Amino acid sequence: MSFFSKLFGKKSSSSQPVEERNMFNLQMDDIITYDLEDYKVVGKISYDDHGFTWHAYQLEGVNRTIWLSVEMDDELYLGMYEKIKLKLQEPFPKKVEHEGTTFYLDESGTARVTGLGRSQNINGMNCQYFDYCDDDEEKFLSVEKWGSEVEVSVGYEIEQFELKIIASN
């Protein structure tokens, strides 16, 4: 045994190498760098609407919490969303105005969800979703109905190169 092995302890032969991360296998406590800020993955929601799946990762930063949306539909789509206070109630309208932007209903449905981390309390629930976009398809509005609670988020598409992943373990 070398001097350094004695000093720092021998590594266990059972330790597994860290799995390389991608947009579909982020883990709790991974760090995502976006727009020069670091965010910790604190929750994950996986949605399944009759076999079509997508994910939303809850990212906690120093000053705000944002959601990274990940969807594979012929190509990879990534979006960054932030919750907003916007009162909507059923029946949800075909168009919604928010801060000078008009959003039009694009698609809706019901998805069964699986939650991890801070989102584990919704595990096994159903969520009604309503996705809106503006005329240029550059801004998006996401409306989710969880039982009697309605959550609204506004977002935009981003590119994968804008994110850096640092695996937690």
pLDDT tens sequence across 17-37: 778 899 999 999 999 999 999
Domain count within the chain:
1
- C-alpha separations of 1 from 5, 12, 13 in Å: 6, 14, 15
| Whole-number Å distance between alpha carbons of 24 and 37 | 21
Residue 6 covered by a domain: no
Residue 5 covered by a domain: no
Which residues have a Cβ under 8 Å from the Cβ of 73 and sit 6 or more positions away?
52
The distance between the two most distant Cα atoms of the chain, rounded to a whole number of Å, is 71
Residue 7 covered by a domain: no
Residue 39 covered by a domain: yes
> Which of these, 17, 46, 50, lies nearest to 167 by C-alpha position?
17
* Whole-prediction pTM: 0.88
Chain length of the chain: 169
Q: Residue 86: which domain range?
A: 19-166
The pLDDT value recorded for residue 145 is: 96
Residue 3 covered by a domain: no
Residue 43 covered by a domain: yes
Provide the Cα torsion 155, 134, 47, 160; round to 10°. -50
Q: Give all strands (DSSP E) within the chain, no chain letters.
A: 31-34, 37-49, 52-60, 65-73, 75-84, 95-98, 101-117, 126-133, 139-146, 149-158, 163-166
Q: Is the pLDDT of residue 122 over 50?
A: yes
The pLDDT value recorded for residue 143 is: 98
Residue 87 covered by a domain: yes
Residue 148 covered by a domain: yes
pLDDT tens sequence across 33-47: 999 999 999 999 999
The pLDDT value recorded for residue 17 is: 73
